[in-house]
């Protein structure tokens, strides 16, 4: 009897580690194995939680750009770019990275080191009824499905396990240092962060250059679409009188409709803000040393109100740096009776709120921090710890925050310099109020080398350390 060979035809391409898994399964069948176990290959449902952070690098025009994103919103955005809706899905949906190149740090069990590896695809599927939360004794946590895979150090051997098989005695590999791709971000376009505000863009020179070179048709069409009288607006721009500004969302629409004002637009020639010229910010915002320090001080001890920010610090050296930075930026400020600084700029308050959070519970490092050079990131972190850091009796440096996201950001950012921070939960209450207190995240840096590096994060010893210690192992606390 002639046997017809089995042939499977499907409109799907294997992704991730599926080709290797298929090859091993076929090899096992050919060898006559009666039983084989498939342990959580790509697409089998193993996943991390919606709000878990992912460190992602994307290759654009032969340059790498790093971002720290939340898994769910990031993948939703990718899916929407292909026409799939955001939100829950019934079946597994896949975003292939054929048109875009992504990388992420991962542990290589063959070499025992951590490196950047390409991402074959991003998958999205409905969360199972039960999720697991794994935590290490150094304070890092992650929510995962029960069949998510982890490499652990168990009984002296690297072992691949499922989440639900984790033990308190296991150790997880932790990268000793997370390298960058030598990015050196010197400025940012702040308009996307202010698109939802009522602030205006003042770009008279580029707009007039565009109208003179191409005529008024493009300007008129964009203004009409935004419900603005093009004649009145153009007249105000030409005369330099009140009403010449364009709301940020309208200006962004103008740029989109005219191809960046047909090449005449430069952010360095434009500002954004309200009526008072001195309270505006340049659209192309420079990430100078003083501005990065200002971000750090704000994250440490600032809050944003409607139309202004408050900065609180009583150390004379830090206060001198804050005042110097504000004067360099040209933004007016005054000192309140309680010694706090009030900086009256709606544009600055809106920008810091969008980038760093408005209150203590929502604080975070500005989203562009992974794209900073090590020197610039060091300045940002130094300002933060100058503002919010304390030195304990044993010499350890710590900072306490109400924001879990900020604590996580700090731990990631310190890894750039080979500094291993531990996260702890502490209960804290204000001594000048009847508030019962709350649970806070404490970022702790100890050990002589880590302490030297946090004092000088660009110390070349951090690079030597990364070569001598490819990874650390952190014990599991619970799951």
Whether 459 has a pLDDT exceeding 80, the answer reads: no
Whether 44 has a pLDDT exceeding 60, the answer reads: no
pLDDT score for 471: 46
Give the C-alpha separation, 322 to 293, whole Å. Answer: 8
Give the pLDDT confidence of 329-344 residue by residue, as tens digits: 999 999 999 999 999 9
pLDDT score for 479: 35
Q: What percent of the chain has pLDDT over 70?
A: 83
pLDDT score for 96: 73
Give the pLDDT confidence of 238-262 residue by residue, as tens digits: 998 999 999 999 999 999 999 999 9
pLDDT score for 18: 65
Whether 221 has a pLDDT exceeding 80, the answer reads: yes
Give the C-alpha separation, 432 to 390, whole Å. Answer: 20
Give the C-alpha separation, 258 to 256, whole Å. Answer: 6
pTM of the model as a whole? 0.82
HEC-encoded secondary structure of the chain: CCCCCCCCCCCCCCCCCHHHHHHHHHHHHHCCCCCCCCCCCCCCCCCECCCCEEEEEEEECCEEEEEEEEHHHHHHHHHHHCCCCCCCCCCCEEEECCCCEEEEEEEECCCCEEEEEECCEEEECCCCCCCEEEEECCCCEEEECCCCEEEEEECCEEEEEEHHHCCCCCEEEEECCCCCCCCCCCEEECHHHHCCCCCEEECHHHHHHHHHHHCCHHHHHHHHHCCCCHHHHHHHHHHCCCCCCEEHHHHHHHHHHHHHHHCCCCHHHCEEECCCHHHCEECEEECCHHHHHHHHHHHHHEEEECCEEEECCCCHHHHHHHHHHHHHHCCCEEECCCCCEEECCHHHHHHHHHHHCCCHHHCCCCCCHHHCCHHHHHHHHHHHHHHHEEECCCCCEEEEECCHHHHHHHHHHHHCCCCCCEEEEEEECCCCCCCCCEEEEEEEECCHHHHHHHHCCCCCHHHHHHHHCCEEEEEEEEC
Backbone φ, ψ for residue 323 (5° rounding): -65, -40
Give the pLDDT confidence of 380-428 residue by residue, as tens digits: 999 999 999 888 877 788 899 999 999 999 999 998 888 888 898 888 7
pLDDT score for 1: 56
Give the C-alpha separation, 456 to 418, whole Å. Answer: 12
Whether 374 has a pLDDT exceeding 80, the answer reads: yes
User: Going from the N-terminus, what domains does the chain have, and what CATH number goes with each?
Assistant: 187-279 (no CATH), 287-478 (3.10.28.10)
> Reading across the β-sheet that carries 246-247, which strands appear in turn?
246-247, 200-202, 271-273, 281-282
Burial class (CB in 10 A: 0-12, 13-18, 19+), 361: middle
Give the C-alpha separation, 232 to 224, whole Å. Answer: 12
Extract the tokens encoding 45: 């449902």
- Which stretch of 67-71, 87-91, 190-194 has the lowest confidence by average pLDDT? 87-91
Give the C-alpha separation, 77 to 54, whole Å. Answer: 14
Give the chain's mean pLDDT. Answer: 83
How many residues are there in the chain?
A: 479
Report residue 39's pLDDT band, with 50, 70 and 90 as the boundaries.
low
């Amino acid at each position: 009897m002639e046997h017809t060979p089995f042939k499977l035809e499907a409109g799907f391409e294997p992704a991730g580690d599926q080709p290797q898994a298929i090859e091993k399964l076929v090899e096992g069948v050919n060898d006559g194995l009666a039983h084989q176990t498939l342990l959580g290959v790509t697409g089998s449902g193993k996943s991390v939680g919606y709000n878990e952070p992912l460190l992602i690098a994307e290759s654009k025009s032969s340059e790498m750009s790093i971002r720290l994103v939340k898994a769910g919103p990031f993948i939703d955005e990718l899916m929407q770019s292909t026409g799939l809706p955001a939100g829950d899905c019934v079946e597994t949906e896949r975003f292939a990275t054929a048109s875009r190149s992504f990388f992420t740090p991962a542990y290589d069990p063959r070499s025992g080191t951590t490196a950047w590896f390409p991402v074959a695809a991003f998958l999205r599927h409905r969360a199972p009824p039960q999720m697991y939360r794994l935590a290490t004794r150094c304070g890092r946590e992650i929510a995962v499905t029960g069949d998510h895979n982890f490499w652990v150090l168990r009984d002296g051997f690297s072992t691949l396990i499922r989440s639900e098989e984790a033990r308190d005695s296991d150790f997880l590999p932790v990268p000793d240092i997370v390298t960058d791709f030598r990015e050196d971000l010197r400025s940012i376009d702040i308009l996307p962060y202010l698109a939802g505000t009522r602030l205006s863009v003042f770009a008279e020179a580029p707009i007039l250059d565009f109208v003179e070179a191409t005529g008024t048709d493009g300007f008129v069409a964009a203004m009409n679409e935004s419900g603005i009288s093009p004649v009145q607006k153009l007249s105000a721009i030409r005369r330099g009188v009140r009403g010449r500004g364009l709301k940020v969302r309208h200006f962004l629409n103008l740029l989109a409709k005219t191809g960046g004002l047909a090449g005449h637009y430069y952010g360095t020639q434009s500002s954004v803000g309200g009526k008072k010229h001195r309270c505006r910010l340049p659209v192309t915002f420079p990430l100078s040393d003083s501005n990065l320090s200002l971000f750090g001080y704000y994250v440490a001890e600032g809050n944003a109100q409607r139309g202004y920010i408050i900065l609180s610090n009583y150390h004379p050296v830090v206060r001198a740096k804050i005042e110097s930075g504000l004067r360099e930026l040209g933004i007016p400020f005054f000192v309140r009776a309680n010694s706090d600084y009030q900086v009256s700029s709606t544009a600055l308050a809106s920008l810091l709120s969008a980038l760093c959070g408005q209150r203590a519970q929502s604080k975070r490092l500005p989203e562009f921090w992974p794209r900073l050079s090590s020197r610039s990131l060091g300045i940002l972190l130094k300002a933060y710890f100058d503002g919010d850091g304390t030195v304990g009796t044993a010499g350890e440096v710590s900072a306490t925050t109400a924001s879990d996201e900020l604590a996580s950001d700090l731990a990631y950012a310190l890894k750039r310099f080979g500094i291993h921070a531990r996260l702890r939960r502490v209960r804290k209450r204000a001594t000048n109020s009847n508030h019962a207190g709350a649970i806070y995240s404490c970022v702790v840096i100890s050990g002589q080398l880590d302490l030297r590096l946090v004092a000088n994060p660009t110390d070349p010893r951090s690079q030597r350390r990364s070569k001598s210690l490819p990874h650390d192992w952190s014990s599991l606390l619970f799951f």
